[in-house]
Amino acid sequence: MNHSHTQDHHHHHEHHVLEGSQRRLVISIVLNLLISLAEVIGGIFSGSLSLLSDALHNLNDSASLAISLVAVRISRREADTHRTFGYNRAEIIGAFLNLITLVIVAFYLIKEAIERYMNPEPINGTVMFAVAVVGLGANLATAAMLHQDSRHNLNIQSAFVHILSDALSSVGVIIAGLLIIAFRVYIVDTLLTVMISAYILAESYPMMRRAVRILMQSAPEGIEYEQVVTKVRQVEGVEDIHHLHIWQLDEAHTNLEAHIVINECDYEQMSSIKQAVKHRLEEIFGISHTTLEFEFVRCESCDDDSCYELRH
């Protein structure tokens, strides 16, 4: 009864955490749409490219958060006969889409900045400053809401980085606005746009690399193929291991399948050898989902061919 009650409490807690995460995402989407609208209007009236860049960046944040929300909901679906591994990878696909769009936006902003440098235009620093302050406040509020979830979820982390980079760019726009008000240094707007874009590219690359690794069914970073082979061969009763495949299903789950070769004389110990291999894989590498198929080599003590009946 106590175990059942604990399980129910655990599931209730997970459901509560999930609902809170989704609610925070919805609020973040609404906040970012409002920031985008304010910055588009402010950018048009002030003539600031960095403010329009920030607006475009924020609009992309809204899209990324929306993708994150959809991906979170899809990933919670139960496995079915068509998707036997479940829908967990939907979050990784969502993160990958976010990052691709972010990189495209960054390159677009660099192009716009170069064109602005070639054809400079006057900018209203006061409007630019005021709108950027509002944008910064909303960005910081959004970042605070997403921070906890971003620590253990690549999908939310990609959205969180969108928000952080936008908060940073808002700080830059505030400084640029002050410089334009005081000294009419319009080139600072162009330089800031390039800096924002460079930051976006630098932050996106490592996360995109992680997402691609998972989508390509690569082994997780830190798990070396040869090291796994060596550690499994050290298990008592294991003669060899081959047909080894290690891949990440998503951020939290790593799968492994392999053929384990044992001596025919150890047939009766096959179950205990299997448990020992599984225990070692989980203890050393954190791999809890393993599929092991056993094969046999002839036992030297066999006097007849009856041992071969055990071959798979």
202 and 293 together in one domain: no
Question: If pLDDT is split at 50, 70 and 90, which confidence band does 98 have?
Answer: confident
Whether residues 251 and 155 share a domain: the answer is no
Better-scored residue on pLDDT, 89 or 312: 89
CB 145 within 8 A of CB 28: yes
Residue 183 pLDDT level (bands cut at 50, 70, 90): very high
Does the pLDDT at position 68 exceed 90?
no
Domains: count for the chain: 2
Q: What is the pLDDT, as a whole number, of residue 302?
A: 56
CA-nearest of 216, 130, 220, 142 to 181 is: 130
Residue 303 φ then ψ, to 5°: -95, -15
**More confident site: 158 or 133:** 133
3-state percent helix, strand, coil for the chain, nearest multiple of 5: 70, 10, 20
Question: What CATH number did the domain enclosing 256 receive?
Answer: 3.30.70.1350
Q: Which of 157, 190, 215 is the last residue of a domain?
A: 215
Domain check: are 201 and 294 in the same one? no
Residue 108 inside a domain? The answer is yes
Percent residues over pLDDT 90 in the chain: 43
The answer to whether position 220 is within a domain reads: no
Would you place residue 15 in the very low, low, confident or very high pLDDT band (cuts 50, 70, 90)?
Answer: low
94 plus 148 within the same structural domain = yes
185-191 average pLDDT score = 91
Q: What pLDDT score does 310 carry?
A: 44
Which residue range forms the structural domain that includes residue 139? 2-215
306: confidence class by pLDDT, cuts 50, 70, 90? very low
Mark whether 20 and 112 lie in a shared domain: yes
**Which tokens in the block code for residue 38?**
């304010």
Q: Based on the domain organization, do 185 and 249 belong to the same domain?
A: no
On whether both 268 and 166 belong to a single domain, the answer is no
Structure tokens at 117: 């440098």
Does residue 309 register a pLDDT over 50? Answer: no
Assess whether 211 and 230 both reside in one domain: no
CATH of the domain at 97: 1.20.1510.10
In a domain, 169, yes or no: yes
Instruction: Please tell me the least confidently modeled range out of 80-84, 236-240, 276-280.
Output: 80-84
Average pLDDT over residues 286-291: 93
Over 80: is that where the pLDDT of 84 sits? yes
